[in-house]
Each structure stands twice: as C-alpha cells, then as structure tokens.
Amino acid sequence: MKLTLFDLDHTLLSGDSDVLWVDFLMDRGVVDRAAFAARNADVEARYKAGTVNAQEFADFYVGTLGGRAPAQWEPLRQEFLATQIVPRIPPAAIALVNQHLDAGDLVVLTTATNRFITELTALYLDIEHLIATDCELADGSFTGRTQGTLNMREGKVTRLHEWLRARGHALDQFDSTAYSDSINDLPLLSVANHPVAVDPDPRLAEQARERGWPVVTLDR
C-alpha cells in the first residue's frame, strides 16, 4: 500500500495559510492591524527559522477564531479560500496531488495550520484525509485555544501514528512518501520511506543535500 503525505504551507500553497488568514482579517477590519501586524510577521519569521515555540505559534493563530461560532466565520472562510488560497495553489502542485490520487495512494494533507482554516483547501484539492491542529469549541463557539496534540514538528508524527492506528493500520505497512518545504517537518520526512523536499527553506535544503533526498520545485 502507498501512503502519500503532503504538507500544505509553502509546499502545495505559495504562502502560509495562517499568515494569510491574519492578513485577510486585518484587511477586512476584523482584527486590529496595529495589534496583529508586527506579531504576525514575527511569528512567521520564527516559524520559518524553526525557532518558534509550537504552542505559542498555534495559540496566536487559533486565537483569531475565539468568541465566534463556526457558522459566523463561514462567509469569511469561504471568501478567504476563494481570494487568498486558490490563486496561490500552483498548477504543478495540483498535478502532483492528482498524480498520487490517480495512482490509488492513500493521500493525506498534514498541516500545522488549524483544521477550520484548512479543511476547505483539502476539499478543493480533492484530498479526503486531513490531519491538522484542532480548535477547541465550547458552547458552540471557538474558545481561541487548541485541542489535543498540535500537528507540528514531532506532533505530526504522533498524530499520523494515531490516525493510522484508528484506521487499523501502522506506518510500516505502507510505502510512504512525504513532501514538505520546512525544517519544522524534518521529523515527518525522516519517518517516510521517500522524503521529498519541496522548494525547501535553507535548513531543510542542507538536510536534503546531506541525506541525498530529492528536491523538487512546485512554486512557479
């Protein structure tokens, strides 16, 4: 059996969903630019460097949802997909996903970005299976906090094993391929049979050279 794992941000998407979401909310006047712009840039920079604390990263972005129900966010979520996400998905990324789907692989989108923001992207890409950071709900509204294991760094491996186990499988039953751009996904890439660096950041590019991993470009 073949398992294919795709990271989302800067891998299948030319940009970062979390960062784009905050920019989108600032443009729409939903959050205050003076309060969010500098911190958004700071968290993004430290994420790219692999130095940001995972819980801090998740809390900042999931926190933007706090106080509203999913239905209240839905019109903005749909607009965000159409105006900010779809135009940033390169044709080469769509072609690669379709290649694996057409081959009958079990294809999973695995992302540190929260499920509410990314599940429409997965649907757009025809990827049925999504592993993402989960948002806490209370009384039908987002609390602004995460729930469970963050799907980031080593957490991506933990969540993958949990997801497979719930389906009655184990990772070693599969011939697995993983695609990512980020040093943050080194743990995930390291457990795959066929790790692939996609438009990698400098630290992942160095790891790919040292380990002899293939490097591909989708962002054109």
Residues designated as active site? 7, 9
The rounded distance, in Å, linking the Cα atoms of 216 and 2 is 20
What are the C-alpha distances in Å from 79 to residues 84, 114, 117, 172, 175? 8, 17, 11, 40, 37
Half-sphere exposure of 147 (CA within 13 A, CB side): 11
The rounded distance, in Å, linking the Cα atoms of 169 and 108 is 14
Strands 129-138 and 106-114: parallel
**Element holding 141 (H helix, E strand):** strand 141-147
Q: Using the 8-state DSSP alphabet, how is residue 127 labeled? A: -
Spatial contact of 131 and 7, defined as CB atoms under 8 Å apart: no
Residue 15's CB is within 10 A of a number of other CB atoms, namely 17
Q: Is 45 helix (H, G, I), strand (E, B) or coil?
A: helix
H runs (alpha helix) in 83-153: 91-102, 115-124
